[in-house]
């Protein structure tokens, strides 16, 4: 018989062990080895059986063992020390507390969070990045308050059929068996968030709190008795269901998430966030809820919009339009209009925020950008791709001026770096672990020490892979008698390449199979063999991705190669840690430029692995020619099959001629000295760049604190500046059609202009109903292309000299002739206000109707 309900009965700890519960329910243990050692001491065998899950450990340990521990003085001393260390970590000032005028709190919204394998609320890179973001924020003392959803079935677990087809399973999760606590009112009743739905329905959600070091993570859960069956299933699984289900999840995350924050701050006294950061468009509705709050406090929609935008940061993670959430327009109308409308937030204004080129669709990323004054991609290349992708939101401006910046992702070293390497660094370069400084001193660590640890990590991967491989073959129907070969699958002395990620088509899982005979030769080379460990999940609805997995599995099933190439099902954080620590080379071969950032290669690099990658995402900006290998790309080849063929051939050549040659080139003492030279250079050159701490510092200094300053500026004096700014924006937008560049002339050019000289521009601008203070007149100048287009121009601001009675203003300024070759200039008018972050923010610009006064020439 099957149980109709499952729940976890928690252990009652003896008073002497109360601190153990405190340690278990703060997820800092997931990146703090000393605390993990303490848990292992509770019951070493049981600790392994529960997969290093301390909540499960306490649920399974016997009362007799707890009584024994409560009388063990040595254990109690270690427990007291660990508890004191956690309390000091939670309260002591850290980097953020040294900054002046910083944000009191930052709200961080994401649909998934990869914190630990014991809290399976993630599917891939977006969630892992979000988890590392919170951990780094905790380590640096950044006061983030995070918001997500609690998925009762998490993301799916993956097995394979006998034919190698991906099968999905959705195990039920009991919140009582997770490191969570229920948010309750002072009277002990659970907090309930309510959202009105069409047809007079109501969506209720309770709020679970995961403590991620210093960072509270609020997870909304719709599986409550007050909901009907459909509403209870809103948080059933991550990225499951159809369009309506996805919309309900995003409404709960965005709108419900803001309401959960208000409740948490009211109950706990946590400071209210000044900055709201939405990690991809899934949480974009949070901006609408904040507008509703302000409009109900007697602000107009436009005034509330400016106040909300000032304190909002939006991060885009997708490099392709197909990766953006888009909903039918009528679906949005149904949720925000009619009887379900918010009285102070017109549905027409909501629809306008998400309007895109297709009038029938509502675009979540577009809404997110219109609701945020600061937008960023997740690598330099991705920033360029995003500016091109969203340039139509800022018409009239060059792509380089589109106000989308970039902060390259980073990874949380204590989570992903092998413990042996962390301890080695702590002994040899203590400043590296304590303050993330001294990377250049890695060169002083003896090669044999790093190589010894690399061997330990590789062997651990091989042993773990054999366990997972045996389990997978059993699930596929094989008997133990057929699996003796697994004892020799993989070899801890062989060059090991790792490939693990989600399996959409653009990541090209099967590029390595382009020439099976060539791959077979590499795997079975008599002197320089290669072995490949592969993992990855395809989205349950992605039949193409499942076919790619099946192709890999069928190749890896062949008896002659199965000891050299393996596919390990159920890619999760635990397997990810095993692979990035144990692989010598990390392979990444996406279609450039479709990898927004990628972080698994960063984790491998921190573990002394070398990257073998297409120059995409983060690798494009940080590859230096000697810290790994760049797979050449056939960017100009239009035929995708031909492109794959060329890039696969380049991949095979690199593995055979450079990677394996260097790995197996051993000195007299058996050490691969040339290989270790690359490893040390990789650690020294990439180490300080790929850290999540570096990433968080950039978010704080470049986005969070400026956003907090903007939010404070607009909210002062009961939002008087926001009201004035909104009125200015409306006035300027309405009057902009009357702004014209009527005449431009230059003096000082001469017949033979020479570099180092300058020209003086005189421009006449019709201001219409605007004042000179409302605009900025700029000269754009620099290199010109074959069609007179300015290429990456520079800008000089012209000064107003006089204004005629008919509101024609006269401006002058100098343009330096600062380069040789073809040179040109023009004049443009853009809005100007102290509260604007960039001239492009309003999307308004006026240029000459004809290239009046345009000068092209060659400077000598």
- Residue 831 in 3-state DSSP? strand
Asked which of 461-465, 696-700, 854-858 is least confident by mean pLDDT, the reply is 854-858
pLDDT at residue 641, as a whole number? 93
- The answer to whether residue 699 scores a pLDDT higher than 90 is yes
In this predicted model, which residue has the larger pLDDT, 73 or 177? 73
Grade residue 476 by pLDDT with cuts at 50, 70 and 90: very high
- Residue 612 in 3-state DSSP? strand
d(CA 445, CA 424): 9
Grade residue 241 by pLDDT with cuts at 50, 70 and 90: confident
In this predicted model, which residue has the larger pLDDT, 756 or 21? 21
Percent of the chain with pLDDT over 90: 86
pLDDT at residue 434, as a whole number? 73
Q: Is the dihedral of CA 408, 409, 414, 418 positive or negative?
A: negative
pLDDT tens readout for residues 809-837 = 999 999 998 888 888 899 999 999 999 99
- Alpha helices by DSSP H, listed for 700-737, are 705-735
- The answer to whether residue 236 scores a pLDDT higher than 50 is yes
pLDDT at residue 394, as a whole number? 95
Grade residue 406 by pLDDT with cuts at 50, 70 and 90: very high
Buried b (16+ CB within 10 A) or exposed e, 232-248: bbbbbbbbbeeeebbbb
pLDDT at residue 319, as a whole number? 85
- The answer to whether residue 512 scores a pLDDT higher than 70 is yes
In this predicted model, which residue has the larger pLDDT, 854 or 442? 442
Task: Report cis status (omega within 30 of 0) of the bond before 506.
Answer: no
Classify residue 199 by burial, with Cβ atoms within 10 Å: 0-12, 13-18, 19+.
exposed
Q: For residue 699, is it left (φ>0), alpha (ψ between -120 and 50) or beta?
A: alpha
pLDDT tens readout for residues 106-117 = 999 999 999 998
pLDDT tens readout for residues 290-314 = 999 999 999 999 999 999 999 999 9
Tokens for 20, please give them: 């153990």
pLDDT tens readout for residues 439-460 = 999 999 999 999 999 999 999 9
d(CA 543, CA 720): 55
Grade residue 860 by pLDDT with cuts at 50, 70 and 90: very low
CB 790 within 8 A of CB 784: yes
User: No. of H helices and E strands in the chain?
Assistant: 30, 28
Q: Which helix (H) or strand (E) holds 15?
A: none
d(CA 736, CA 843): 11
- The answer to whether residue 32 scores a pLDDT higher than 90 is yes
pLDDT tens readout for residues 111-170 = 999 999 889 999 988 999 999 999 999 999 999 999 999 999 989 999 999 999 999 999
- The answer to whether residue 855 scores a pLDDT higher than 50 is no
pLDDT tens readout for residues 621-632 = 999 999 999 999
Mean pLDDT of 697-714: 97
Tokens for 775, please give them: 């605009």
d(CA 461, CA 288): 47
Mean pLDDT of 234-255: 94
Mean pLDDT of 368-385: 97
Mean pLDDT of 771-797: 92
Grade residue 785 by pLDDT with cuts at 50, 70 and 90: confident
- Residue 771 in 3-state DSSP? coil
- The answer to whether residue 222 scores a pLDDT higher than 80 is yes
Under DSSP, the state recorded for 113 is B
pLDDT at residue 488, as a whole number? 95
Mean pLDDT of 178-207: 96
Q: Which helix (H) or strand (E) holds 702?
A: none
Mean pLDDT of 183-198: 97
Q: In 10 A of CB 516, how many CB atoms? A: 12
Total-model pTM? 0.95
d(CA 837, CA 544): 43
- The answer to whether residue 322 scores a pLDDT higher than 90 is no
- The answer to whether residue 573 scores a pLDDT higher than 50 is yes
- Residue 4 in 3-state DSSP? coil
End-to-end CA distance of the chain: 90
Mean pLDDT of 396-400: 92
In this predicted model, which residue has the larger pLDDT, 240 or 517? 517
pLDDT at residue 412, as a whole number? 97
Q: In 10 A of CB 123, how many CB atoms? A: 23
Grade residue 851 by pLDDT with cuts at 50, 70 and 90: low
Q: Look over the chain and give the mean of its residue pLDDT values, rounded to a whole number.
A: 94
pLDDT tens readout for residues 520-539 = 999 999 999 999 999 999 99
Rg (the chain; Cα; Å) = 29
Which residues, listed in sequence order, are joined to residue 211 by a DSSP beta bridge? 26, 216
- Residue 406 in 3-state DSSP? strand
- Residue 88 in 3-state DSSP? helix
In this structure, which long-range contacts are made by residues 219-224, counting pairs with CB atoms below 8 Å and at least 24 apart in sequence?
219/121, 219/147, 219/148, 219/149, 219/150, 219/180, 220/147, 220/148, 220/149, 220/150, 220/193, 220/252, 220/253, 220/256, 220/257, 220/260, 221/149, 221/150, 221/152, 221/175, 222/252, 223/152, 224/192
pLDDT at residue 3, as a whole number? 66
- The answer to whether residue 5 scores a pLDDT higher than 90 is no
- The answer to whether residue 2 scores a pLDDT higher than 80 is no
Q: What is the strand order of the sheet 794-797 is part of?
A: 794-797, 775-783, 821-831, 857-859
pLDDT at residue 227, as a whole number? 96
Grade residue 437 by pLDDT with cuts at 50, 70 and 90: confident
CA-based nearest residue to 747, from 763, 770, 735, 734: 763
């Amino acid at each position: 018989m099957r149980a109709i309900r499952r729940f976890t009965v928690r252990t009652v700890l003896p008073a002497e062990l109360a601190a153990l519960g405190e340690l278990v329910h703060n997820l800092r243990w997931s990146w703090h080895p000393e605390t993990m050692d303490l848990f292992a001491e509770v019951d070493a065998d049981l600790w392994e059986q529960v997969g290093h899950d301390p909540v499960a450990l306490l649920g399974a340990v016997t009362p007799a063992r707890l009584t024994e521990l409560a009388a063990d003085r040595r254990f109690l001393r270690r427990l007291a020390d660990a508890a004191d260390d956690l309390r000091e970590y939670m309260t002591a000032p850290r980097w953020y507390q040294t900054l002046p005028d910083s944000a009191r709190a930052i709200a961080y919204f994401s649909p998934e969070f990869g914190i630990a394998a014991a809290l399976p609320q993630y599917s891939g890179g977006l969630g892992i990045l979000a988890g590392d973001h919170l951990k780094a924020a905790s380590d640096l003392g950044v006061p983030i308050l995070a918001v997500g959803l609690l998925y009762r079935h998490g993301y799916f677990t993956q097995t394979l059929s006998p034919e190698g087809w991906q099968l999905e399973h959705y195990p039920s999760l009991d919140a009582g068996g997770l490191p969570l606590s229920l948010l309750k009112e002072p009277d002990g009743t659970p907090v309930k968030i309510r959202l009105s739905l069409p047809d007079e329905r109501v969506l209720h959600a309770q709020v679970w709190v995961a403590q991620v070091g210093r960072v509270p993570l609020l997870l909304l859960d719709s599986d409550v008795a007050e909901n009907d069956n459909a509403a209870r299933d809103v948080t059933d699984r991550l990225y499951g269901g159809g369009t309506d289900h996805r919309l309900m999840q995003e409404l709960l995350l965005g709108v419900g998430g803001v309401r959960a924050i208000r409740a948490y701050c009211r109950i706990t006294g946590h400071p209210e966030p000044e900055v709201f950061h939405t990690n991809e468009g899934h949480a974009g509705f949070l901006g609408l809820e904040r507008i509703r709050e302000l409009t109900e406090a007697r602000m107009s929609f436009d005034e509330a919009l400016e106040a909300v935008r000032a304190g909002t940061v939006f991060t885009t993670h997708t490099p392709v339009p197909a990766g953006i959430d888009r909903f039918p327009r009528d679906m949005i109308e149904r949720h925000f209009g009619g009887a379900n409308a918010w009285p102070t937030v017109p549905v027409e204004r909501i629809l306008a925020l998400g309007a895109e080129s297709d009038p029938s669709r509502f675009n979540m990323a577009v809404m997110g950008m219109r609701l945020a004054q600061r937008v960023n991609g997740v690598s330099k290349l991705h920033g360029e791709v995003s500016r091109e992708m969203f340039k139509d939101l800022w018409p009239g401006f060059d792509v380089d001026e589109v106000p989308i910046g970039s902060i390259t992702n980073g990874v949380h070293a204590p989570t992903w770096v092998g413990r042996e390497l962390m301890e080695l660094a702590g002994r040899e370069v203590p400043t590296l672990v304590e303050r993330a400084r001294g990377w250049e001193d890695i060169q002083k660590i003896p090669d044999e020490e790093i190589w010894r640890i690399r061997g330990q990590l590789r062997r651990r991967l091989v042993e773990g892979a054999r366990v997972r491989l045996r389990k997978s073959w059993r699930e596929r129907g094989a008997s133990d008698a057929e699996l003796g070969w697994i004892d020799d699958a993989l070899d801890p002395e062989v060059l090991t390449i790792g490939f693990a990620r989600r399996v959409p088509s653009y990541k090209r899982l099967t590029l390595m199979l382009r020439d099976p005979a060539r791959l077979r030769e590499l795997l079975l080379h008599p002197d320089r063999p290669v072995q490949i460990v592969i993992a990855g999940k395809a989205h349950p609805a992605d039949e193409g991705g499942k076919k790619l997995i099946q192709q890999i599995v069928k190749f890896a099933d062949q008896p002659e190669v199965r000891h050299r190439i393996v596919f390990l099902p159920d890619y999760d954080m635990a397997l990810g840690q095993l692979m990035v620590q144990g692989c010598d080379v990390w392979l990444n071969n996406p279609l450039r430029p479709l990898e927004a950032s990628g972080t698994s290669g960063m984790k491998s690099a921190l573990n002394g692995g070398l990257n073998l990658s297409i120059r995409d995402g983060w690798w494009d900006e940080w590859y230096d020619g000697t810290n790994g290998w760049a797979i050449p790309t056939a960017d100009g080849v239009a035929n995708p099959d031909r492109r794959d063929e060329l890039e696969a051939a380049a991949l095979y050549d690199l593995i055979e001629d450079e990677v394996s040659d260097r790995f197996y080139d051993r000195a007299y003492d058996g050490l691969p000295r040339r290989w270790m030279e690359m490893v040390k250079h990789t650690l020294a050159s990439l180490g300080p760049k790929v850290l999540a701490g570096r990433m968080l510092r950039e978010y704080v200094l470049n986005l969070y604190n400026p956003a907090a300053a903007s939010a404070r500026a607009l909210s002062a004096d009961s939002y008087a500046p926001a009201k004035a700014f909104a009125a200015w924006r409306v006035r300027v937008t309405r009057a902009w059609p009357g702004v014209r560049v009527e005449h431009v002339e230059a003096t000082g050019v001469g017949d033979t202009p020479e570099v180092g000289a300058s020209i003086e521009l005189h421009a006449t601008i019709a201001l219409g109903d605007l004042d000179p203070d409302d605009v900025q007149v700029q000269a754009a100048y620099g290199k010109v292309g074959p069609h007179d287009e300015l290429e990456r121009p520079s800008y000089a601001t012209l000064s107003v000299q006089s204004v005629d009675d008919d509101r024609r203003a006269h401006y002058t300024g100098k343009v330096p002739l600062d380069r040789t070759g073809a040179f040109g200039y023009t004049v443009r008018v853009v809005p100007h206000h102290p509260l604007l972050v960039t001239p492009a923010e309003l999307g308004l610009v006026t240029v000459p109707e004809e290239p009046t006064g345009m000068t092209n020439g060659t400077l000598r």
